[in-house]
Chain A
Amino acid sequence: MDEKEPFGERQAARRSFLGRLGVAVAGAAAAAATGAVSSRETRAAADAPPVPAIPGYDWSKRRWAFGVDAAKCIGCLRCVEACKAENDVAPDAHHFRTWVERYAYLDGEDSARIDSQADPVNIEASGAEGKYRFANRYKDAKVDKAFFVPKLCNHCTHPACVQVCPTGATFKTDDGVVVIDHTYCIGCQYCVQACPYGARFFNPKLNVTDKCTWCYHRITKGLLPACVEVCPVGARVFGDRNDKDSAISKFIANNRVAVLKPETGNAPNVFYVGIDKEVS
């Protein structure tokens, strides 16, 4: 019995302490929250612009989207070289913001043979890394069907890469472009693994992840992305879906378009025409 008394007192003291601690924590949290909210509001009112300070551009008015007409693509790879020049991507056979795949169904074969400009045979045909061309490797083969498919970042509506970024370095802008803040990227490459399309790569020089930005520096100045600018056959289409007369709005309205891997739930914003079941 003697031993029980101190134990009971201790229990009572602990209970009252926990109660007071709860109040203190709640109070501190409330104070912190009001403080944080008020300071953020003040800051927003004082110096933060309502939209990013890009001269002559209001991102709230735009909803960018991209179209690819694979039935027009001739596999000349001018888009790949233009992208590398425009965005200072390493001129090698391993890092691409956009690339082109060739699907060839040969007579008697069940699945397509797939290669891209990075295939060693095609690099050899081009003569040098940094120059790209498709080797005429099926010239003498019996080809049932063949076509080229340009690929790039899909700038998804629900991007898996953004969800997994631990630092907030990659994000989706209000006008619909998924970009990377290289000053915040720590190079963990979690996003490279999360992307179901293989659209991201690691830039070993800067130690950051890199990917297509739809040439954000161009589209905010009223220009087209570099790959769309140079495509000689109009296989790449870009524009603002808020503008019903834009090239992309008409492209989506006039064609039965498909997206790649819709089952992943990423909701891509690159719309394809003329691709086959094996393209993903």
Chain B
Amino acid sequence: MPKHVLRLILLLVGLGVVAVAARNFLVDRSFYQYGHYRGDAVAEIARDRPKFQGVAYCQSCHAAQFAQWSKGVHDGADIGKVVKCEVCHGPGGGRDPQQDYINAATGPIHPDNLKLAIPTDTRALCTLCHERMPGRPPQQAQIAVEDHAGTQQCTLCHNPHSPRTFVGSFAAPEHPGDAAAGKAKAEMCAGCHGAEGVGADLPGPTLAGQSEAYLAAALEAYKRGARSNPMMSPIAVDLGDRDIQDIAAYFASLKCEGPPSAAERVALARKAGASVCADCHGANGVSPDRSAPNLLGQSKDYLSAALKAYASGARSHVVMSTLAKGVSDANAEKLAAYYAGASCK
């Protein structure tokens, strides 16, 4: 065989070897397994961890919120609308890609120390869907925001979990609080709030006769950090949803009534400039609105400290923060003295 022919054949064989080697060492073994792509890629793409967990996942711990939601229009599968938890609160899982916080109860997702967002600017959040806008279909509930609410937050009146129920008339919780069970659980409260929930000369405010919804909301706020206090925060963290309901029911069942008469107090209130307070907290300091606390029977120190905390921003509330900023320290003392004038007797 001539030399140049041999060279050509060797060249071709060499090319063949290179081709086979390239297929085996450079191209992934699973390439062409199912088609012109890397077969292993399919399982790799499918392996990612889902972040949005669904309602069932949230429900397992947040039963009280779920109960409110499932009774309201935001869970309206029959009317073609389901606003699930994660639509407003964001994804329940996947906030911990490095798996630094693996929680035994929830698994490596939504651990306790990575709380989900509790939306604060509900005016911006709710209007994403409910602002009247050309292009929105007629079946969607829409409002002209300024006419409807001015600059107020939606949650001032609406319960976001069930918007057709209004704050102050919350639907009864799934497990109504048990006052008898609450009495046993409330033993440790007596040190500051008084044996019968009357804390007139003690560091804690009077709890007797306070509305159940307000007390439960306050404990809940301490528990998840929305309110903080060196005494209350560590206590509330250890309370379960059931404990909170029971304790709230116990103090709500106690009586707090005292002189002077309602008529006298109205007259006194005008003098002290407290008429604006009466809109929510009642003319005689007993609140007609279940979301606002009774001021009757609170100690002067507690009330003035609370007013100052709202004014400074240490405590925040959609109504109180604004009102308290217009109250001078001297007037705060006067107002506190007025409401404290009639302690529970």
Q: Using a CB–CB distance below 8 Å, which chain A residues touch chain B?
A: 17, 20-21, 24-25, 28, 32, 35-36, 40, 43-44, 48, 52-54, 57, 59, 71-78, 82, 85-86, 102-104, 127, 133-134, 136, 138-139, 141, 143, 146-148, 168-171, 173-174, 179, 181, 183-184, 213, 215-218, 220-221, 223, 226, 229-230, 232-234
Contact = CB atoms under 8 A, between A and B. Distances in A.
A174 B33 CA distance: 12
B17 to A, nearest CB: 11
Nearest to B77: A234
Interface in B228-280: none
Nearest to B19: A32
Given A229-B52, A230-B86, A184 B137 contact: no
8 contacts: A57-B46, A82-B52, A82-B91, A168-B37, A170-B37, A181-B37, A216-B46, A233-B140
Contacts of B31: 168
B52 A74 contact: no
Interface stretch (B127-135, B176-184, B212-220, B284-292): B127-135
B91 A179 contact: no
A21 B2 CA distance: 13
A217 B46 contact: yes
B135 A223 contact: no
Nearest to B95: A85
A54 B133 contact: no
A74 B140 contact: yes
B38 A86 contact: no
Contacts of B47: 54, 217
Contacts of B12: 24-25, 28
A78 B87 contact: yes
B35 interface: yes
A170 to B, nearest CB: 8
B42 A139 contact: no
Given A86-B51, A139-B133, A218-B50, 16 more contacts: A52-B42, A52-B46, A73-B137, A75-B133, A78-B128, A86-B94, A104-B134, A133-B128, A146-B135, A213-B45, A229-B84, A232-B84, A232-B129, A233-B80, A233-B140, A234-B82
Given A78-B87, A169-B37, A183-B38, A40 B131 contact: no
Given A104-B135, A146-B134, A234-B82, A183 B50 contact: no
Contact of A71 (B13, B44, B128, B137): B137
B37 A223 contact: no
B131 A85 contact: no
Most buried by B among A48, A59, A181: A181
Interface in B109-140: 124, 128-129, 131-137, 140
Contacts of A127: 124
Contact of B42 (A59, A73, A169): A59
A110 to B, nearest CB: 18
Nearest first, the 4 A-B pairs at minimum CB distance are A217-B48, A146-B135, A181-B41, A171-B37
A248 to B, nearest CB: 16
Contact of B38 (A44, A77, A181): A181
B45 A86 contact: no
B107 interface: no
A76 B81 CA distance: 13
A269 B40 CA distance: 24
Nearest to B34: A174
Contacts of A24: 9, 12
B36 A171 contact: yes
Given A168-B31, A179-B41, A136 B131 contact: yes
Contacts of A75: 133, 135-136
Given A171-B35, A226-B51, A85 B90 contact: yes
B16 A28 contact: yes
A230 B84 contact: yes
A139 to B, nearest CB: 7
Nearest to B50: A218
Nearest to B90: A85
Contacts of B105: none
A21 B87 CA distance: 70
B149 interface: no
A49 B86 CA distance: 37
B8 interface: yes
Contacts of A223: 50, 52, 54
B134 A139 contact: yes
B135 A148 contact: yes
B42 A32 contact: no
A37 to B, nearest CB: 11
B300 to A, nearest CB: 43
A25 B5 CA distance: 13
B45 A181 contact: yes
A59 B41 CA distance: 14
A204 to B, nearest CB: 21
A184 B50 contact: no
A60 B287 CA distance: 65
Nearest to A148: B135
A229 B135 contact: no
A86 B137 CA distance: 28
B114 to A, nearest CB: 14
B274 to A, nearest CB: 38
A234 B139 CA distance: 13
